[in-house]
Amino acid sequence: MFKGSHLLQIGASNIVVIHNHPSGIPLPSRDDFNVIRRIRDAGELLGIPLVDFIVIGCGDFVSFKEKDLLKL
């Protein structure tokens, strides 16, 4: 669970989120984009940048950083 206070306590300098899709298909969903915006915005308020959001499934993954999707 993403908690800003915990990130500050441990001195986090970056945020990387990795999560799986139970369907096994690692294509980003609308919910993924909604979550990434919220995490990115919270990280900006705390001064801790979101550097990647990775979706995994069935031996494959999609990196939002690699696909240049972090700013959407």
Q: Supply the CATH number for residue 29's domain.
A: 3.40.140.10
CA distance 69 to 34: 12
Average pLDDT, integer, range 13-28? 93
Supply the pTM of this predicted model: 0.84
Residue 32 pLDDT grade (very low, low, confident, very high; cuts 50, 70, 90): very high
Average pLDDT, integer, range 35-40? 93
Number of domains in the chain: 1
CA distance 45 to 41: 6
Q: For residue 69, is it within any domain?
A: no
Domain that holds residue 57: 4-63
Q: What proportion of the chain, given as a percentage, has pLDDT over 90?
A: 74
What is residue 63's three-state secondary structure?
strand
Q: For residue 68, is it within any domain?
A: no
User: What integer pLDDT is reported at residue 4 of this predicted model?
Assistant: 64
User: What integer pLDDT is reported at residue 2 of this predicted model?
Assistant: 59
Radius of gyration, CA atoms only, the chain: 12
